C-alpha cells in the first residue's frame, strides 16, 4: 500500500531561490473527486501520470501514481477534467538532509508559494529552513484539489495570509 506522509507550509520569502537544485513546470487537472479521494492527471515536461489520493489522516494519506502516455494525458487534461486545474513551477530545494518541493503557483493561484516535505513517518524530525512560514498541512484550502476549484487569488485578503516571495 502506498502511503504519502507530507507536511505543507507557506513560504515567507524568496531566499530559497538561492538553493534551487532543479525546477519543472507542472500542470494538473482533476478527473474526479469525492469525500474519500481525488483523481488527477499531471503533466511535467514529457512525462504524465494519473494520481489517486485518499482522504487526509493527519499528515498521511493513501497515494497511488501510474504513468500514462503523454498524448493520452493531454486528451484527459483537455476533455475529461471538470474538477479544475492548477499550474505550478516546482523547485527542488535541498535543506539539511531533506528535499523540499517549493511550488510557485501560476494562473489563478499566482502569488501563492507553498513548500512541501515528504517524510518517512509522521513524527520524523526535520530542520526548518529560514524561509519557511506557517504550517498548512491540515488546512484543506491549501490542498491542490481545493485550489483547482477555489483559486487563492479569489479568497480575499481576510481569508489568506499575504505573502509574495
> Contact 20/123 with Cβ under 8 angstroms?
no
What is the C-alpha to C-alpha distance for residues 10 and 75, in angstroms, rounded to an integer?
33
Backbone φ/ψ region at 99: left (φ over 0), alpha (ψ -120 to 50), beta: beta
**Residues 9, 16, 30, 105: which is the catalytic one?**
30
Mark whether 66 is an active-site residue. Answer: no
- What whole-number distance in Å separates Cα of residue 71 and Cα of residue 13? 37
- Indicate which residues carry an active-site annotation: 30
Amino acid at each position: 500500500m502506498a502511503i504519502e506522509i507530507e507536511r505543507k507550509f507557506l513560504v515567507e520569502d524568496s531566499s530559497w531561490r538561492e538553493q534551487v537544485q532543479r525546477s519543472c513546470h507542472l500542470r494538473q487537472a482533476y478527473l474526479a473527486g469525492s469525500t474519500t479521494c481525488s483523481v488527477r492527471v499531471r503533466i511535467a515536461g514529457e512525462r504524465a501520470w494519473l494520481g489517486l489520493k485518499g482522504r487526509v489522516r493527519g499528515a498521511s494519506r493513501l497515494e497511488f501514481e501510474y504513468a500514462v502516455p503523454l498524448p493520452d494525458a493531454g486528451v484527459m487534461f483537455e476533455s475529461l477534467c471538470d474538477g479544475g486545474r492548477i499550474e505550478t513551477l516546482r523547485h527542488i530545494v535541498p535543506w539539511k538532509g531533506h528535499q523540499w518541493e517549493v511550488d510557485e503557483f501560476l494562473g489563478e493561484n499566482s502569488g501563492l508559494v507553498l513548500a512541501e516535505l515528504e517524510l518517512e513517518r509522521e513524527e520524523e524530525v526535520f530542520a526548518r529552513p529560514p524561509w519557511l512560514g506557517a504550517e498548512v498541512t491540515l488546512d484543506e484550502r491549501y490542498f491542490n484539489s481545493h485550489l483547482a476549484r477555489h483559486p487563492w487569488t479569489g479568497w480575499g485578503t481576510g481569508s489568506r495570509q499575504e505573502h509574495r516571495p
